[in-house]
Amino acid sequence: MRVLLKVLDGPLAGGVIAVDEGVPVTVGRSRDPGVVAVPDQAMSRLHFVVERSGRSCRIRDLGSSNGTFVNAAQVTDAWLQAGDRILAGDTTFEVAVEAEAAPPPPAPAPPPPAPSRAPPPTHARPPPTRPDPAFAAALEDDDETVRREALWAAAWTGQPWLRGYLRALLANPEPAHRDAMLLLAILGGPEDVELVLAAARALDPGPERFRVLAAFGHPAVVDELLAGIEDEDAAVAAAAGEAFEKLTGAELDRIPAGPEEAPAGADPGDATLRPDPAAAKLFWRDAHDRFFQSSRWCRGLDLSGEIDAATINRLDLQSRLEACVRGRYLGSWSGSPADLERLGGLRP
Amino acid sequence: MARVEAKARTDILAEHFSELAWLWERREAMLFSPAFGPGALAAHDRRMEGHVRGLVVAGEDAVPLLAAAIESDDPATAAAAAYVLLRRGTLAGDRAVLRALTGAEGARLDAIRRAVCMAPIDAIAPELGDLLATGPAPAAAAAAEALAFHGRLDAAAPRLARLRADEDPAVRRAAWRAVALSGAAPVAGGS
């Protein structure tokens, strides 16, 4: 089965957006990676997201200014079916469902070409791209730390092949790809949810896995963090709890771990503490919908768009580094990694 | 009486330095930590600056202490000494740091390189350029990184590609950090 959003009118009339299983499609005016960009001034930067799960397809408004309408009724969250009409800004989409084996539908007649018009949106991932020759040997270096520095250098210097390279590498993730996982989590977009989740699962449950998930900041990873908080290993639970706090900004109570986890002869007052899973679940139950209105969070701040200095300075130092390298890669932050290290703090 | 005063002064300087080295080590650990925010880092830096000024205003009285400390195998001690020597802005201090950077290895080289990154380098930038061009590979890579940190690295410098292909992984690592810090895409090449 294929689900398509056909663009009936508006600036991209004639375009088709494919909605793949498990890969949410975010539509809006933003040109951020992972967003199907529609140059419709009446749309919000992140207007709505469509997700397919099995034979079901769901649309959620992302807090847009002008609202999302399905068959003329304004919705914040609705199930879609074939033939539904979605109105966002001045653009109308029609939901089409096709059998997988069917040949592709004839493309709607394109409108007359207009020089200023962007190409019709598609949701196909760009093909993996090869690294620049100057980087190629370093990315295959026997020394893991050299590979790591080369990857980060590629990010700081905005290498256009980098995300394609990371996606191709992580199609078959291994623990040795931990640096690539972290970097894709930082640089990737909502279209990378499944890839990042699957890649992180190649790492043992613990600080590395949860660091990747928290760096990604997408609300879809939170279920994994909640499961980690309930892990019987207190160290795993602690790492998951810190990641949950990093993404959501929640401050979880710490409770004593079970008596079976205390070392023999340990003072009861020195009991290992772990994050309170009930508090985490309660927080998430109340905050879930708000967080699903965007695709990247850190400390409860929406980082899906461009970041400003005030926001950067509200982050912890690890998250600040991640936000700045992402901003630098995407062209929304013009600083240098040295700005994050020099004595006296970040330059204004 | 004068001897007592001199002893007291030495003790005060040693206290300043000991505290600075400890704070330097702490700072390196907190720099990209999720447990601290920019405000905590700025407060930490102010605290360090107080000790740095205490050592800088001591003038020549602090030199024996710093000269011994820069030879230390403890990275934070060597780094703190190199940093204060550069902040003093004297020819002798600058030369001591360049000498240490040229001869150091491993963690001590990393520490002195970090100090050169954090300190003003106007007076030694030409020597760092020379080190990059003709120095031993570890020192050349450290010089490249320090120059890049200060926005003074010529990304087309012919030595850079060779450093990225050096047999020593620590050199290759430093050369790639220089790429990141420079923000300029590297030029392919090297042997």
Q: Which residues of B touch A132 (CB under 8 A)?
A: 185, 188
pLDDT exceeds cutoff 50 at A239 = yes
| Residue A269: pLDDT band with limits 50, 70, 90 | low
pLDDT digits (tens, 9 = 90+) for A167-220: 999 999 999 999 999 999 999 999 999 999 999 999 998 899 999 999 999 999
Helices H, strands E: what count in chain B? 10, 0
The better pLDDT of the pair A293, A108 is held by A293
pLDDT at residue A100, as a whole number:
56
CB-hemisphere CA count at 13 Å for B84?
Answer: 36
Contact between A127 and A42 (Cβ < 8 Å)? no
pLDDT exceeds cutoff 70 at A80 = yes
What mean pLDDT comes out for the span A108-118? 39
pLDDT at residue A336, as a whole number:
93
Q: Which residues of A touch B176 (CB under 8 A)?
A: 138, 146, 149-150, 152-153
Tokens for B105, please give them: 């290895």
pLDDT at residue A117, as a whole number:
36
Contact between B139 and B107 (Cβ < 8 Å)? no
The better pLDDT of the pair B3, A80 is held by A80
Q: Which residues of A touch B117 (CB under 8 A)?
A: 338, 341-342
Chain A interface test: which of B20, B30, B41, B53 (most A C-beta within 10 Å): B41
Q: Which residues of B touch A313 (CB under 8 A)?
A: 37-39
Q: What gap in Å lies between CA B85 and CA A17, rounded to an integer?
A: 62
Interface of B with A in 38-57 (CB under 8 A): 38-39, 41-42, 45, 48-49
pLDDT at residue B147, as a whole number:
98
A342–B188 CB contact, under 8 Å: no
Closest residue, chain B, to A147 (C-alpha): B173
Token pair 């998930």: residue: A213
pLDDT at residue A257, as a whole number:
78
Chain A interface test: which of B110, B172, B187 (most A C-beta within 10 Å): B172
Model ipTM?
0.93
Does the CB of B32 have a partner CB in chain A at under 8 Å?
Answer: yes
What is the average pLDDT value for chain A, to the nearest integer? 84
The better pLDDT of the pair A4, B27 is held by B27
Does the CB of B117 have a partner CB in chain A at under 8 Å?
Answer: yes
Regions of chain B where pLDDT drops below 50: 190-191
What letter does residue A231 receive in the DSSP assignment?
Answer: -
Q: How many angstroms separate the CA of residue B12 from the nearest CA in chain A?
A: 24
- Torsion from C-alpha of B150, B156, B158, B163, nearest 10 degrees: 60
Q: How many angstroms separate the CA of residue A322 from the nearest CA in chain B?
A: 9
Q: Which residues of B touch A316 (CB under 8 A)?
A: 33-37
Q: What gap in Å lies between CA B71 and CA B85, rounded to an integer?
A: 13
pLDDT at residue A76, as a whole number:
77
Closest residue, chain B, to A315 (C-alpha): B37
pLDDT at residue A305, as a whole number:
87
Residue type, A143: D
| Residue A119: pLDDT band with limits 50, 70, 90 | very low
Closest residue, chain A, to B161 (C-alpha): A134
Report pTM.
0.74
Tokens for B69, please give them: 């400390």
Tokens for A227, please give them: 């499961």
| Residue A43: pLDDT band with limits 50, 70, 90 | confident
pLDDT at residue A83, as a whole number:
80
pLDDT digits (tens, 9 = 90+) for A217-237: 999 999 999 999 999 999 999
Residue type, B159: R
Bridge partners (DSSP) listed for residue A5: A17, A95
Q: Which residues of B touch A138 (CB under 8 A)?
A: 164, 172, 176
Cα separation values, A150 from A58, A158, A246, A315, A328, Å:
40, 12, 26, 26, 16
Q: Which of A138, A312, A343 sits opposite B118 (nearest CB)?
A: A343
- Tell me which residue of A209, A244, A250 sits closest to A229, measured CA to CA: A244
Q: Supply the DSSP string of A129-194, one letter for each residue.
A: -PPPHHHHHHHT-SSHHHHHHHHHHHHHTT-TTHHHHHHHHTTS--GGGHHHHHHHHHH--GGGHH
- Tell me which residue of A344, A315, A343 sits closest to A333, measured CA to CA: A315
Which residues lie below 8 Å from residue A67, measured CB to CB, with a gap of 6+?
A: A61, A74
Q: Which residues of A touch B165 (CB under 8 A)?
A: 137
pLDDT exceeds cutoff 70 at A346 = no
pLDDT digits (tens, 9 = 90+) for B112-150: 999 999 999 999 999 999 999 999 999 999 999 999 999
Which residues lie below 8 Å from residue A228, measured CB to CB, with a gap of 6+?
A: A205, A209, A210, A236, A237, A239, A240, A241, A243
Interface of A with B in 264-323 (CB under 8 A): 312-321
What is the percent of chain A where pLDDT is above 70?
Answer: 84
pLDDT at residue A324, as a whole number:
95
What mean pLDDT comes out for the span A83-87? 86
